[in-house]
Amino acid sequence: CCCRAADVLFDSFASEGRINVNQFFEAIWSSGLHRSDPRLRECFFHLRKLQDVEGSVDRNAFHRCVTGFVSLILKALQGRFVIPDFSTFTEETQKLFSRCRQLSSVQEKEKECVDSSKWGVSICTVDGQRLSLGDWAGSLVLGEVSWPLVYGVAVDLLGSDLVHRYVGVEEFSRYDSPFTLTKTGIPHSPLTETGAIVTVSLLQLAGRLCAEEEEKYDSVLNVVRRLCNKEHAHL
């Protein structure tokens, strides 16, 4: 049960009947989970609130705060995420990042209006393990990357059958015009320019988007914000 699991957690970190909140969470963060992870925000907040001047809590306070979060915490501490050894993963990714950065700098010198010093990467696993390196916080225009996001929103709100009455799922050659249609007169895919335009227009049918352009942008942007934990997404 959760109470027994919480006791095991407490005993693993406790010293003289108390547990240091900083040490406890540092062990969790080392699994790759981020300090802003919304799943642990409430737990972190209450432990901070109940800690004494030395930053520790007793067993009862610990139980009150971790109840409801034990499963995720145990999964993190026991290395049961998709990347069990996140420390080694981080080291190897940093090496690849540095090597690719050097290659990119050489290639970008031939391009105009490109700042070759800007180089960043952000990774998030299905378990919420996150790693960001370099200039990851800089703004980046989604452009064509937004097309699958808009498609996902449309399918979620309208259903696959309705969406694919107007947008196909056929293979599209990069040599074809982006405005080429299928034999039935619809865009080949939601991941083409015409397909993306049609998909966005379909969102109006969901009843959540009105004809005002600004409100259409805001509605899709809200989905993007939820996908990225309400961080770093703006028009």
pLDDT tens series, the chain, 235 aa: 568 889 999 999 999 999 999 999 999 999 999 998 999 999 999 999 999 999 999 999 999 999 899 999 999 999 999 999 999 999 999 999 988 887 755 455 545 555 667 788 889 999 999 999 998 877 777 788 888 888 988 898 889 999 999 998 877 666 566 677 888 888 888 888 888 889 988 887 665 545 555 566 676 777 778 777 667 666 6
Please report the pLDDT score of residue 208 as a whole number: 53
Distance between CA atoms of residues 233 and 212, nearest Å? 20
For 2-77, CATH number?
Answer: 1.10.238.210
Q: Which residue intervals of the chain bear CATH 1.10.238.210?
A: 2-77
Please report the pLDDT score of residue 225 as a whole number: 80
Please report the pLDDT score of residue 1 as a whole number: 59
Distance between CA atoms of residues 171 and 196, nearest Å? 15
Rounded (10°) CA dihedral 174, 177, 178, 180: -120
Distance between CA atoms of residues 196 and 90, nearest Å? 36
